[in-house]
Amino acid sequence: YQEEIQELNEVARHRPRSTLVMGIQQENRQIRELQQENKELRTSLEEHQSALELIMSKYREQMFRMLMASKKDDPSIIMKLKEQHSKV
């Protein structure tokens, strides 16, 4: 028992219990703040990904239309483009 108490005291560096409790409370506050920041960053990332997906979708649609307009003479290219667009 004495050995275990001694080991615990060494780990605690002989600090009073109130100091240890205050340190733990401060760490808990920091952890909660970091968790909140992490949640906000994750939400922001999801919003940015959504916006980027929308932008890329519109870009692909415009490119498809431009290629369709420029390749009206070749029906095989139009079919290939339609297949690729439907896959995307």
Task: Map 27-77 to HEC letters.
Answer: HHHHHHHHHHHHHHHHHHHHHHHHHHHHHHHHHHHHHHHHHHHHCCCCHHH
The percentage of the chain sitting over the pLDDT mark of 90, rounded to a whole number, equals 40
Give per-residue pLDDT as tens, 50-79.
999 999 999 998 888 888 777 666 667 666
Whether residue 45 is predicted with pLDDT greater than 80 in this model: the reply is: yes
**Residue 21 predicted with pLDDT over 80:** yes
| Residue 37, pLDDT above cutoff 90 | yes
Q: What percent of the chain has pLDDT over 70?
A: 82
